[in-house]
């Protein structure tokens, strides 16, 4: 029996057998009341009022008052079996049988009652005195303790306590599970048994923090199990204090974070893969060169799958329509493949080249499809050591198999379902890119055929045109000055001139495309050239005045005179052509640092900003405004090429409805 109950008994006996002074009784720290033989309360002290939560009326209320009474397990306790009822009935003292009473405010109080009967001189029972010891707090803290103990026992985390010297003092089930030591094996041993050799310093640091009363939280580190396996853990360590507040040790919670780490790594891997997929997708969709696409895809998929080597075989048709195989490699030099030739139609490869689906095998050398074909019956000697094998057919939109991607690793079981999904994601992007590249190649072929035709046609047209020009000039000269047909011959000659201008422009275009536009450089005076061109053009232009707005007369450039003339003529004729409502065109030449700058300004229809770059492309014409004005859309293309070849550049400043200024600059001599 504990100290409290012993005191209670003594006090009860005192009250029962002696007459206590009223004040002392009233102010005793334990609840005491008396009742007569019928159970009516005759007296009680302040502590009883506090415990009951109300003041009963003496001689009117029974000892059981209006309280509900329960057994310690919470079940209702019949009143006649209550300790006090039994004392009154049987005349016996009862010691500390715990009951729970419910106060009027609903609060439950755990009580140890000590009812003692009171007898008169004849030994007849006259009543009883009862001492009630309130043990609610004690019970609550016991409950809390039990709950904590159960949490600690059932926790999946390892919960350990240790002294300030690092000696284990408690070890829960979670710790047993995590570290493999039983409670009895662990208690009394140093916590350093869990710390890998190269991390022993951590314990010194942790303990020094604990001694200072500091906590250590979310400390990610490695700890060692009984079997010597290192596991990643997250530690939370707090100082433990005694009732006086002295630090006496540390409590430590260790959580196994392997799963979390694995999940984080997987997530990170996914994020990285997604990024690679995105980048690969972007890179290959921008490429139009088959070899480059294949290389990018091979590199990316080899990396994504963790393959040791990867190869992409691609069926391509040459100009004669013959099929041949292009291939790219990653992780292995070309020599590693060259001596074996292209993959043959063996059972292993056929599946892929026939587009029958993905083949993923943990060990290809054990696959039933492997090793049946003459002459090698498996991999040729000296072949890369492929064990893990992943092959994905690459199928175009039309359903035709255009190639296969093959990944290998010298160890078995290296490729997973995830790799399969990832790689087939890349190959489907690749097949779109390869389709596009094929289309582009076809367009390129058609384009060069078109260029070839333009070159040939304009060349063929030039000869009859020159003869026609010659004959017309002979007729012109042979006619007397007043002949009325002379005017028609002049008109025909001017049309022939226009036509041969167009033909030579077309010829220039095909020469530019073939990279064969010839240039002859010589030093000459640019302002003088401009004057000559303006004079010549003004002669045949009635609608506009061509005004030279600069007074510079000497500016030497080293350039192809004829080609620059061609550019200036083109700019002035455009300025006239595209300003039908205006009456003049300005041209200026100036020097800016070591450059000569020529600007041609008109006050015509102008060009929208978004068209500024496009008008320099081949055959490009601004359709909405310029459609009624004749032209082929090649003048600026040729001019731009000429200026670029002179290490110069073009610029346009234009506003629709107000006019345009075309400028070019070329280096001075």
Summarize as ranges the residues that interact with ligand ADP (CB under 6 A). Answer: 570, 574-575, 578, 602, 604-607, 615, 621-622, 626, 631-637, 660
> Cβ 546 to ligand ADP, closest distance in Å?
13
CA 630 to chain CA centroid, nearest Å: 54
Would you say 255 or 544 has its CB closer to ligand ADP?
544
CB of 9 or CB of 602, closer to ligand ADP = 602
CB of 269 to ligand ADP, least distance (A): 53
Nearer to ligand ADP, 85 or 626 (CB): 626
In this complex, which beta carbon is closest to ligand ADP, that of residue 273 or of residue 574?
574
Residue closer to ligand ADP by CB (options 314, 603) is 603
| Alpha-carbon distances of 541 from 281, 535, 600, rounded to whole Å | 56, 10, 16
Three-state SS at 415: coil
DSSP for 128-172 reads EEEEEEE-HHHHHHHHHHHHHHHHHHH-SSEEEEEETT-BEEEE-
Task: Please report which residue ranges of 479-593 form alpha helices under DSSP H.
Answer: 486-513, 526-540, 561-577
Nearer to ligand ADP, 35 or 605 (CB): 605
In the complex with ligand ADP, the residue whose CB is nearer, 134 or 602, is 602
For residue 602, the minimal CB distance to ligand ADP (Å) is 5
Strands of the sheet with 68-70, listed across from one edge: 41-44, 31-36, 125-134, 108-119, 99-102, 68-70
**Which CB atom, from 419 or from 621, has the smaller least distance to ligand ADP?**
621
- List Cβ neighbours of 361 (8 Å cut-off, separation of 6 or more): 367, 388, 389, 390
Instruction: Please give the residue whose beta carbon sits closest to ligand ADP in the complex.
Output: 631
Sign of CA pseudo-dihedral 275, 281, 282, 284: positive
Report in angstroms how near the CB of residue 573 gets to ligand ADP at its nearest.
Answer: 8
Minimum distance from residue 604 beta carbon to ligand ADP (Å) = 5
Instruction: Give the number of other CB atoms < 10 A from CB of residue 542.
Output: 7
The least CB distance from residue 544 to ligand ADP, in Å, is 12
Least CB distance to ligand ADP at residue 621 (A): 3
- Bridge partner list, 111: 99, 134
CB atoms within 10 A of CB 574: 23
Half-sphere exposure of 476 (CA within 13 A, CB side): 14
Provide, rounded to whole angstroms, the least separation between the CB of residue 648 and ligand ADP: 17
Cross-strand pairs, 556: 525
| Minimum distance from residue 536 beta carbon to ligand ADP (Å) | 19
Q: Are 572 and 534 in contact (CB under 8 A)?
A: yes
Q: Give which of 648, 659, 655 is closest to 568, Cα–Cα.
A: 648
Sheet holding 649-655, edge to edge: 545-548, 584-592, 595-601, 659-667, 649-655
Q: Which is nearer to ligand ADP, 474 or 632 (CB)?
A: 632
Q: Report the residue number, 404 or 604, with the smaller CB distance to ligand ADP.
A: 604
CB of 566 to ligand ADP, least distance (A): 11
- The burial of 206, by beta-carbon neighbours within 10 Å (0-12 exposed, 13-18 middle, 19 or more buried), is given as buried
């Amino acid at each position: 029996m504990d100290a409290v109950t012993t005191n209670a008994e003594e006090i009860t006996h005192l009250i029962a057998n002696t007459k206590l002074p009223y004040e002392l009784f009233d102010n005793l720290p334990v609840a005491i009341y008396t009742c007569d033989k019928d159970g009516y309360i005759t007296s009680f002290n302040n502590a009883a009022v506090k415990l009951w939560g109300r003041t009963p009326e003496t001689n009117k209320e029974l000892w059981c008052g209006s309280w509900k009474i329960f057994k310690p397990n919470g079940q209702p306790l019949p009143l006649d079996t209550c300790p006090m009822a039994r004392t009154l009935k049987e005349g016996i003292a009862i010691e500390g049988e715990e009951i729970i009473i419910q106060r009027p405010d609903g609060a439950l109080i755990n009580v140890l009652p000590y009812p003692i009967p009171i007898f008169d001189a004849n030994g007849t029972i006259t009543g009883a005195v009862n001492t009630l010891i309130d043990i609610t707090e004690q019970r609550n803290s016991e409950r809390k303790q039990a709950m904590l103990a159960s949490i600690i026992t059932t926790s999946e985390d390892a919960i350990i306590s240790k002294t300030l010297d690092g000696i284990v003092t408690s070890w829960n089930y979670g710790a047993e599970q995590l570290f493999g030591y039983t409670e009895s094996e662990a208690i009394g041993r140093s916590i350093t048994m869990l710390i890998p050799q190269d991390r022993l310093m951590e314990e010194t640091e942790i303990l020094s923090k604990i001694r200072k009363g500091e906590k250590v939280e979310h400390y990610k580190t490695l700890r060692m199990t009984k079997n010597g396996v290192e596991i990643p853990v997250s530690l939370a360590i707090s100082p433990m204090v005694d009732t006086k507040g002295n630090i006496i040790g540390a409590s430590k919670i260790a959580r196994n974070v392997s799963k979390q780490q694995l999940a984080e790594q997987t997530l990170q891997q996914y994020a990285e893969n997604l990024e690679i997929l995105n980048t690969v997708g972007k890179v290959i969709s921008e490429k139009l060169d088959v070899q480059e696409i294949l290389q990018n895809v091979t590199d990316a998929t080899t990396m994504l799958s963790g393959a040791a080597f990867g190869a992409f075989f691609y069926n391509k048709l040459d100009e004669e329509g013959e099929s041949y195989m292009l291939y790219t490699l990653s992780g292995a030099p070309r020599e590693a493949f060259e001596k074996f030739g292209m993959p043959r139609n063996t059972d292993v490869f056929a599946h892929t080249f026939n587009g029958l689906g993905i083949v993923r095998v943990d060990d290809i050398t054990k696959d039933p499809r492997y090793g049946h074909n003459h002459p090698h019956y498996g991999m040729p000697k000296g072949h890369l050591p492929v064990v893990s094998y992943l092959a994905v057919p690459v199928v175009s939109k039309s359903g035709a198999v255009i190639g296969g991607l093959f990944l290998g690793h010298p160890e078995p079981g290296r490729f997973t379902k995830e790799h399969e999904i990832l790689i087939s994601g890349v190959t489907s992007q690749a097949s779109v890119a390869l389709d596009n590249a094929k289309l582009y190649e076809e367009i390129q072929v058609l384009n060069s055929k078109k260029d070839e035709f333009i070159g040939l046609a304009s060349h063929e047209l030039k000869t009859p045109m020159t003869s026609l020009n010659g004959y017309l000039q002979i007729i012109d000269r042979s006619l007397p000055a007043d002949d009325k047909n002379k005017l028609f011959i002049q008109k025909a000659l001017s049309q022939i001139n226009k036509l041969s201008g167009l033909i030579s422009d077309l010829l220039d275009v095909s020469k530019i495309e073939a990279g064969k536009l010839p240039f002859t450089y010589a030093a000459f005076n640019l302002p003088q050239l401009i004057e000559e061109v303006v004079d010549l053009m003004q002669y045949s232009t009635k609608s506009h005045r061509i005004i030279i707005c600069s007074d510079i007369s000497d500016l030497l450039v080293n350039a192809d005179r004829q080609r620059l003339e061609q550019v200036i003529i083109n700019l002035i004729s455009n300025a006239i052509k595209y300003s039908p409502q205006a009456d003049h065109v300005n041209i200026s030449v100036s020097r800016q640092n070591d450059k000569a700058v020529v600007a041609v300004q008109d006050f015509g229809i102008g060009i929208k900003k978004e068209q500024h770059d496009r008008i320099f492309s081949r055959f490009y014409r601004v359709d909405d405004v310029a459609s009624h004005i004749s032209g082929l859309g090649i003048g600026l293309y040729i001019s731009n090429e000429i200026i670029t070849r002179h290490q110069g550049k073009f610029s346009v400043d234009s506003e629709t409805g107000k006019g345009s200024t075309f400028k070019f600059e070329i280096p001075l001599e």
